[in-house]
Chains A and B, each alone.
Chain A
Amino acid sequence: MAILSFILRIIIGGVFLTSGLAKISDPVRFLLTLREFRLFPDIVERFASIYLPWLEFILGLCLLSGILHRAGALVIAGLNTMFIAALVSVIFRGIEVDCGCFGLVADILNLPDMADWKAVLRNSVFIGMCAGIFTIKGTVISLEGYVRKRR
């Protein structure tokens, strides 16, 4: 089970690290994507365009390194729940927008990045994977575990 937790950590951590970096490199594009969602006031959008990419990047680092990985998984699950709510809202209002999940990376790798039911499904899978990381107690190859052993 610890190996399963490690594999899930690497997948989710890698995804969040990449998407965070892609957004950090172009916050203006992320801001414009947030505006297209028409959900929040301007000040919240501006704050989110700076804060969310860094949060994703740090959460990715937490999961990859194994530092506070269970708390990280909890926060990622919360974030994904918010993303799903935003996506469903956009889908029901009939607004066709990019979901903005991967920013520049989606362009470079030609990934589908539309706000549709596939994006909702993907985020739901991420929540399931986070639940796996959260519930499995032990993990392997983690910096936190290494530090605890050294003590």
Chain B
Amino acid sequence: MNIKRIILEAICILVFALFVAMLYNAISPTGIELIRHKQKEARGPRYGAVHWYPGSSLAGLTMS
């Protein structure tokens, strides 16, 4: 049983998976960017942003 060779092969698999994951992340919208985007959505608008809705009164200007 050639343990050294098997460990080397295992490292190759790990590196290959990393390469594929990075490639997929780079070409698909379902990568880290999407996760970041969803996090931003979940957080909601930033602090201090002024929101005005058409038809709303002055009270409609909210600081969220």
Name A's B-contacting residues (CB within 8 A): 24, 27-28, 31, 46, 49-51, 53-55, 57-59, 62, 68, 70-72, 74-75, 137
The answer to whether B35 and A71 have CB atoms under 8 Å apart is: no
Q: Is B31 an interface residue (CB 8 A)?
A: yes
Among A50, A70, A75, the one with the most B-chain Cβ atoms within 10 Å of its Cβ is: A50
Contact of A59 among B1, B7, B13, B31 (CB under 8 A): B13
Q: Is B50 an interface residue (CB 8 A)?
A: no
- Contacting B13 at CB < 8 Å: which of A27, A49, A71? A71
| B34 beta carbon closer than 8 Å to chain A | yes
What is the total number of residues of chain B having a CB less than 8 Å from a CB of chain A? 21
- A67 to B13 Cα, complex, angstroms: 10
Q: Which residue of B lies closest to A137 (CB)?
A: B1
Q: Mark B29-50, 1 if CB is under 8 A from A, else 0.
A: 0111011001000000000000
Name the one of B6, B17, B18 contacting A71, with C-beta atoms under 8 angstroms. Answer: B6
Contact partners of A27 in chain B: CB under 8 A: 30-31, 34-35
The verdict on B61 contacting chain A, using a C-beta distance below 8 Å, is: no
Q: Which residues from A are CB-within-8-Å of B17?
A: 51, 54-55, 57-59
| A68–B12 touching, CB < 8 Å | yes
Contact, CB under 8 Å: B18 / A51: yes
Q: In the complex, what residues of A have CB within 8 A of residue B30's CB?
A: 27-28
| Bound Cα distance from A53 to B14, whole angstroms | 12
**Cα A75 to Cα B12 with chains together (Å):** 11
User: Who on chain B is nearest to A70 by CB?
Assistant: B6
